[in-house]
Chain A
């Protein structure tokens, strides 16, 4: 059964059709990698998927229900890590995580998230002292601190060093092993195991369809449609 899907999604930004007729469908344990040149609509698509903005046409379905029908249930099942890190500079690393966990109804494990992102030693440091990469890791720690089946990641590897990219890859793999879904946009090869990759720029004008089948043709390689 498809857990998360979208039909005929169209995104219009200031009278320009960014993409049209985009279909996607992912099942538990799937990964979808969005690629495409700058301005092709990767971030816009992720914002549509997250429910931050509404599509000009089409609808997005989570577990059989439109996300506009039961937004609170969808939002509690989803983590979105956008371009902006949502880190408060005046608060410490731990205080930032405590605040974001309080927004969610499930119990959180902040120490585990700090360990997974390598921020444990910096837990009590004010966030304004962090480097760009460490701030990005803090944004990812927010996602790791409370469980949610759906991860929407907008360029998660930006500013990350190679060790952190490896950690992220491991986190994504264990998330998917537990039946989680990952949808990520990226400009660098993220090498997600048997993840389906789609280039959004192909939906720029003509109507086209994409279905992720979740089955790997070749293990360890990304499939391009």
Chain B
């Protein structure tokens, strides 16, 4: 387990030293979400209706900017082949890298999301559910994105391929994530959507690190 936390610590430290790479995701999230009032018009009721969907789609698209680097640097400098032959299982190392990715990109998005929500006139009663659903959703996106990043590692134009692989897989997250926020605004129970997201998270938590490990092994052959 020391290796697991050492890997998380190292990735966070590198992210903090190369802060511009990390900030790009947040800045893109804020800017792309704030384009909507300009595009569709600053009509408060319209924005309030669109807010949950806009938040989820822009959060997903901004996360896409971070996945091409997730394994690429380690792959290029040879660290990844050392992780393949490290004494601990490769899926655990993959999970550590995914956890570090969530802490450095998913978590900041989670913190900024309520502010964007207020800007888009999202009803205050939806904010708590937005945070809960986003905490689950961004973790799922990190896991699925890491799987896509591992599968496209070493291929040409991996960024484009990555989007084609990940975005369709993220559709359930969008449906249940924005569904939960809309339900809470309408005064309906949200446990169903949050349970679905939790279920998706558990499934991804089991399958994605394992798939990542298999893909990383092939990439290093």
Asked if A and B are interacting partners, one says: yes
Can you list 19 residue pairs at the A/B interface with Cβ under 8 Å? Answer: A50-B85, A52-B81, A52-B85, A53-B220, A72-B88, A76-B87, A80-B85, A86-B77, A86-B82, A88-B14, A90-B14, A90-B17, A91-B10, A91-B14, A95-B10, A99-B6, A99-B7, A103-B86, A103-B87
A28 to chain B, nearest CB (A): 20
User: How far apart are the CA atoms of A86 and B79 in the complex, in Å?
Assistant: 4
The verdict on A147 contacting chain B, using a C-beta distance below 8 Å, is: no
Q: Complex Cα distance A91/B89, Å? A: 24
List the 3 closest pairs (A to B, CB-CB), nearest first: A84-B78, A102-B6, A76-B87
Which residues from B are CB-within-8-Å of A54? Answer: 221
Instruction: Tell whether B205 is near chain A: CB-to-CB under 8 Å.
Output: no
Q: Is the interface on chain B under 10, 10 to 19, 20 to 34, or 35 or more residues?
A: 20 to 34
Among A47, A72, A75, A91, point to the contact of B13 (Cβ < 8 A). Answer: A91
B contact set with A: CB distance below 8 Å? 2-3, 6-7, 10, 13-14, 17-18, 76-79, 81-89, 220-221
Contact A100–B82 (Cβ < 8 Å): yes
Expressed in whole angstroms, the Cα–Cα distance for A80 and B79 within the complex equals: 11
Pairwise interchain contact B2-A53, C-beta atoms closer than 8 A: no
Q: Inside 8 A of B220's CB, which chain A residues have their CB?
A: 52-53
Q: Are A102 and B2 in contact (CB under 8 A)?
A: yes
Measured CA separation A50–B79 after assembly (Å): 14
CB pair A52–B78 under 8 Å, yes or no, is no
Does A149 reach chain B (CB closer than 8 Å)? no
Which residue from chain A places its CB closest to the CB of B220 in the assembled complex? A52
Q: Does A95 contact B13, Cβ atoms closer than 8 Å?
A: yes
User: How big is the A interface, by class?
Assistant: 20 to 34
User: What DSSP secondary structure best describes chain A's contact surface?
Assistant: loop
Tell me the minimal C-beta distance from A54 to chain B in angstroms: 7
Q: What A residues does B7 contact at CB under 8 A?
A: 99, 102-103
Interface residue A104 (Cβ < 8 Å from any Cβ of B): yes
Q: Once the chains bind, are A83 and B6 in contact (CB under 8 Å)?
A: no
Which residues from chain A sit less than 8 Å from chain B, CB to CB?
A: 47, 50-54, 72-73, 75-76, 78, 80, 82-88, 90-91, 95, 98-100, 102-105
Whole-angstrom distance between the Cβ of B89 and the nearest chain A Cβ: 8
Known: A76-B87, A80-B82, A82-B81. A52 touches B221 (CB 8 A): yes
Q: How far is the CA of A100 from the CA of B6 in the complex (A)?
A: 9
Closest Cβ of chain B to A187, distance in Å, is 19
Question: Which residues of chain B come closer than 8 Å to A80, judged between CB atoms?
Answer: 81-82, 85
In the complex, which residue of chain B has the Cβ closest to the Cβ of A87? Answer: B77
Instruction: Report whether over half of chain B's contact residues are helix, strand or loop; otherwise say mixed.
Output: helix
- The answer to whether A86 and B84 touch across the interface, beta carbons within 8 angstroms, is no
Is B10 a contact of A88 with CB atoms below 8 Å? yes
Chain A positions within 8 Å of B81 at CB level: 47, 52, 80, 82, 84, 86
Q: What chain A residues lie within 8 Å of B13 (beta carbons)?
A: 90-91, 95
**B6, A103: Cβ atoms under 8 Å?**
yes
What residues on A are CB-neighbors of B87 within 8 Å? 72-73, 75-76, 103-105
Assembly CA distance A145 to B128 (angstroms): 49
B3 touches A102 (CB 8 A): yes
Contact B3 A103 (CB under 8 A): yes
Supplied contacts A52-B84, A76-B87, A102-B2, 16 more A-B pairs, CB within 8 Å: A52-B85, A52-B220, A78-B85, A80-B81, A80-B85, A82-B81, A84-B76, A85-B77, A86-B81, A88-B14, A98-B6, A103-B6, A103-B83, A103-B86, A103-B87, A104-B87
Q: Which residues of A contact B79 (CB under 8 A)?
A: 86, 88
Q: How far does the Cβ of A44 sit from chain B's closest Cβ, in whole Å?
A: 10
Among B3, B82, B221, chain A packs the most CB atoms within 10 A around the CB of B82
Cα distance A104–B83 in the bound complex, in angstroms: 11
**Chain B residues in 8 Å Cβ range of A99:** 6-7, 10
- Contact between A51 and B10, CB atoms less than 8 A apart: no
CB of A74 to closest CB in B, whole Å: 9
Q: Which residues of A contact B2 (CB under 8 A)?
A: 102
